[in-house]
Amino acid sequence: MPELTFAEKLLIARRQLDLFQYQMAERLGVHPNSLTKYERGEGKPHAAVVRMFDLLCEQEGIRFDEFENAPAADAVQKGKSMKIVLAEKVSPATLAVFASEPGWEVIAHDQMKDGLAAALAEADALVVRSAVQVDDALLSHARKLRVIGRAGVGVDNIDAEAATRRGIVVMNTPGANAVAVAELTLGLMLALARKLPAATGGMHAGKWDKKNLQGAELRGKTLGILGLGRVGLEVARRARGFGLEVIGADPFVSAAVARENGILLLPLDEVFAKADYLTLHVGLTPQTANVINAKTLAAMKPGARIINCARGELVEDEALVAALRSGHIAGAALDVFREEPPKNLAYAGLDNVILTPHIAGSTAEAQEAVGVQIAMQVREYLKLGVAQNAVNLPSLSHEEYVQLAPFIDLAGRLGAFLAQAGKDGLEAIDLIYGGTLTELKTELVRNAAIAGLLQGSESVNRINAAAVAAERGIRVHEEKRESHRGGAATVLTVALHGSAGSHRASGTVIHGEQPRLIEFDGIDIETPLEGHLLVCRNYDVPGVIGKIGTILGQEGVNIANFALGRERTGAKPVKALAVVQVDEPVSARVLEALKPIEALIEATPITLPDGAQ
């Protein structure tokens, strides 16, 4: 038979060495994107790459004789045959993605004669929807399993921690239903503008109530979008076709990306003030919970309308009901609720509210899309080692993971701290590694920091964080320094740069598991990075600390830790920093009570996870 191609040899060698794509790229000294092209047979590799590959094969004892002498149909399959288990019913198009791969064995849900556990004994991949529970007990039967694909977004039915311990990647399909959600959003806007529920209800009741059904056009109105991820951008693209002026707020999207999509990026308060229609497309975080409340509703135009196809917890129901009843908000369309299905629906009986039972992503096309997308992701991972939309950590040796885990946790906390303490308009991120981090694989540390920073964004995790940052026009720069800071042996610094200025935080891990903040915006400080924090900036004058403590005590806030630091630049007046760890979240009332302190510049509440994660 003809000699194997370079692409075939690459795939065979990587399979035998059990390397991911990025690891093989490192061994050959090429960019992972170039390796992907080589393995797909796209483009001719440079002679130096071929020489490096030949040298690698010689060093590792990889030979291709048995593949070159095998029958044509079997040549490469010895290097990449796979067994795929489809535990739930999938579409023919999903099945076809796997069936198109020569030598791959596909076990459908109705072909598992001895049960799922037995089918997984020699399986390389498992694909599920939402019905099958993938727990540690089931995974104990899957000795060879490398990847679990979830055809959908939620992974509540998969024990990702157990999968991670076993070195199994878990993937989902965020964004596959983005078009479906965007289309329903525009449909609900039209239904509100043209009073369609009242019109169809009247007709079914035998009424011809034309005079009371005068609507409004979308053309020329202003659409405000909170959250410019996949769904938000799809909404913006479609909204322009209706002649809407599109404005948006998202601290994790650069102005350049917004401009490319015809969106005017504004501060959140300006979006509330200017929007005729406001649609929500953000994830649920401490900062976005109840973002629609009495205060933000009062800031909106009289007669504005609100659409929520994201999360029910984004809306303070009592405040929205009051605004709808008063007429200040002309209408609302809600597809999501705090409790689903809702038992006591606060909006029942309001004729200016459209209610749908969480159907935004429920289209035949979207369900087909998630199935095909997960099949393609699983295929790419098995063939090329490319992990797309993974929700857990990629494979590391146990020793590497144990060494990295505390710093992955630290990075996520530093990112979340800066996201809450900083300003909007993020454009660039710097990460500086010191001490033992200079000798470790820091991709996961980097991604954890970015995921912490982008925590209010859609479907961002430690695997896809760098790709999401690039997609949003955020530059990421990394640097390793042998001697980063005195004192702590290993230090991680994360710095943000944006239109509103820059912020920088450094941290370390003590006793092997306790994350600590040791510097913030040039001021040395030492405080736990966990729980509820109050970050106070003030002028360094007598009495400020006492006043802060007194007010917190008067408001019933218990102080667990009080850390202090001040500038050493010699500039006047000297600025100081206090990070107060308290037992409960700092309320808006407490923040108002602190405002009269003259020397206090600002007080910012921050919430971080308890304990090491």
Catalytic residues: 311, 340, 358
Cα separation, 10 vs 34, in Å, equals 12
In sequence order, which residues have a C-beta less than 8 Å from that of residue 520 and are 6 or more positions away? 421, 503, 504, 505, 506, 535, 565, 577, 579
How is residue 431 written in tokens?
Answer: 């990460």
Cα separation, 265 vs 393, in Å, equals 33
Cα separation, 304 vs 302, in Å, equals 6
CA dihedral sign of residues 8, 11, 14, 18: negative
Asked if 237 contacts 246 with a C-beta cutoff of 8 angstroms, the reply is no
Instruction: Count other C-beta atoms under 10 Å from residue 142's C-beta.
Output: 24
In sequence order, which residues have a C-beta less than 8 Å from that of residue 493 and are 6 or more positions away? 430, 431, 432, 434, 484, 504, 505, 506, 507, 519
Helix intervals (H) in 482-603: 544-554, 588-594
CA separation, residue 534 to residues 27, 575, 579 (Å) = 47, 17, 6
Count of residues in the chain: 613
Cα separation, 416 vs 345, in Å, equals 34
φ/ψ of residue 106, rounded to 5? -115, 120
Q: Minimal CA–CA distance to 504: which of 607, 604, 574, 429?
A: 429
Q: Which amino acid is at 300?
A: M
In sequence order, which residues have a C-beta less than 8 Å from that of residue 312 and are 6 or more positions away? 334, 336, 337, 338, 339, 340
Tell me the CB-side half-sphere exposure of residue 521, using CA atoms within 13 A: 19
Asked if 60 contacts 17 with a C-beta cutoff of 8 angstroms, the reply is yes
Cα separation, 310 vs 47, in Å, equals 51
CA dihedral sign of residues 39, 44, 48, 53: positive
Is 606 strand, coil or helix? strand
DSSP assignment of 444-484: HHHHHHHHHHTTTSTT--TTTHHHHHHHTT-EEEEEEESS-
Cα separation, 145 vs 87, in Å, equals 14
Cα separation, 37 vs 462, in Å, equals 25
Instruction: Count other C-beta atoms under 10 Å from residue 574's C-beta.
Output: 13
